[in-house]
Structure 1
Amino acid sequence: MKRKPLTIKTIVAIGIGAAVFIILAKFAAIPSPVPNTSIQTSYAFLALMAVVFGPIAGGLIGLIGHALNDAISYGSIWWSWVVVSMIIGFLIGFAAKKIDIESGVLNTKKIISFNVVQVIAQAFGWFLVAPLLDILIYAEPANKVFVQGLFAGVSNMVTVGVLGTILLLGYAKTRSQSNSLHREL
């Protein structure tokens, strides 16, 4: 099986996607009652980019965007959560072929598929990977990191479920459907 190289379009999308991820994470996050955790709109955008450009772009946008946001906002990078952002972008990107957003058709079945994938990806990342890496890398207390992971996961699932679906619907409307052209008589 021959590996398909990244196109210039995908590389540009990764750069722009990471920049938008940073802007949303920095300026469109909603504070939460859980310490060091906020409700992030950036994951809805990450999900859109992953569905449009695939798993490699989704993973790199999550990795680069989250790492740079941490560096800019806090002066250091919290690698356990950066890895989770990469995993989420990567896993959601695998839904790209099944959803086929470029067809211009985003029906109920595709919306459900998208949301099932994003919920599974986020549950894996936030409920399991982030807390375990926080404990292993930073020696954080288990009760603290599992509460943070639970809140981050649930809030991101809802945000992506609502905003991500709206973004996908809007994007799909910009694509022309293969049967949309009719010959005039």
Structure 2
Amino acid sequence: MMEKGLSIKTIVAIGIGSAVFVILGRFVSIPTGIPNTSIETAYAFLALMAVVFGPVAGFLIGLIGHALKDAVFYGSIWWSWVLVSAFVGLFIGLFANRINIQSGIFEGKQIVTFNVIQALAQAVGWFVIAPTLDVLIYAEPANKVYLQGIVAGLSNIVTVGVIGTILLVSYAKTRNKSDSLSVE
């Protein structure tokens, strides 16, 4: 019988993932020198969760985690960037089946696929969506927000490319390799 809705495991992952996103976003980010723009390790964790738990979990962890971080630490939510965090989690999660981390294999082809997907998601999100929404919603100066978007996007692409890849390689090693069984 097919389950409807989210599994308890996915719901727990969303809750824990959102909390970890908040903690990483607050305590494990490095200022870039561009106002309100940091190198964020939270996106490497978001990518891991999106690959392991799928697009709905990725979307909700990005949405809830970023909104909570903004509300708790800045006193208000910057919705344009929160929506991009949700978009990045969703987009990476949509392609999780192409990576198939549960197989226990995360090597050459999967690493390249993951990094092409995450770089595309981040580029669209941070170079286009976030700054455009900043201009439309908050009437921010375009030159300022497009610079912030480019710096955020590039730093997130590199951070997810390095830390996210390491996390996924490590996670894959905890899974049984799908081709490890042999017939005797």
Calculate the TM-score normalised by the size of structure 1: 0.96
2:173 partner SS: helix
Q: What is the root-mean-square deviation in Å for CA atoms of aligned residues?
A: 1.4
* 2: CA distance, partners of 1:93 / 1:178: 21
How far the C-alpha of 1:4 sits from its partner, in A, is: 4.4
Structure 2 match to 1:29 = 29
* 2: CA distance, partners of 1:50 / 1:4: 19
Alignment deviations for residues 84-136 of structure 1 (CA, whole Å, 9 cap, x no partner): 00000000001210101000011200100000000000000000000010001
* 1: CA distance, partners of 2:100 / 2:4: 18
* 2: CA distance, partners of 1:75 / 1:3: 39
8 A Cα contact 2:80 2:130, kept in partner: yes
Alignment deviations for residues 18-69 of structure 1 (CA, whole Å, 9 cap, x no partner): 0000000000001111111000000000000000000000000000000000
Structure 2 match to 1:86 = 86
* 2: CA distance, partners of 1:4 / 1:142: 43
Which letter does structure 1 place at the counterpart of 2:136? L
Alignment deviations for residues 147-185 of structure 1 (CA, whole Å, 9 cap, x no partner): 00000000000000000000000000000112334689x
Structure 2 match to 1:17 = 17
- Asked if 1:128 is matched to 2:128, the reply is yes
* 2: CA distance, partners of 1:153 / 1:30: 14
| Runs of at least 5 residues in structure 2 that lack an aligned partner in the other structure | none
1:125 partner SS: helix
1:39 partner SS: strand
Identity of aligned residues (%): 67
* 2: CA distance, partners of 1:113 / 1:182: 28
| Runs of at least 5 residues in structure 1 that lack an aligned partner in the other structure | none
* 1: CA distance, partners of 2:171 / 2:40: 20
Structure 2 match to 1:62 = 62
Calculate the TM-score normalised by the size of structure 2: 0.96
**Number of aligned positions between the proteins:** 183
- Asked if 1:164 is matched to 2:168, the reply is no
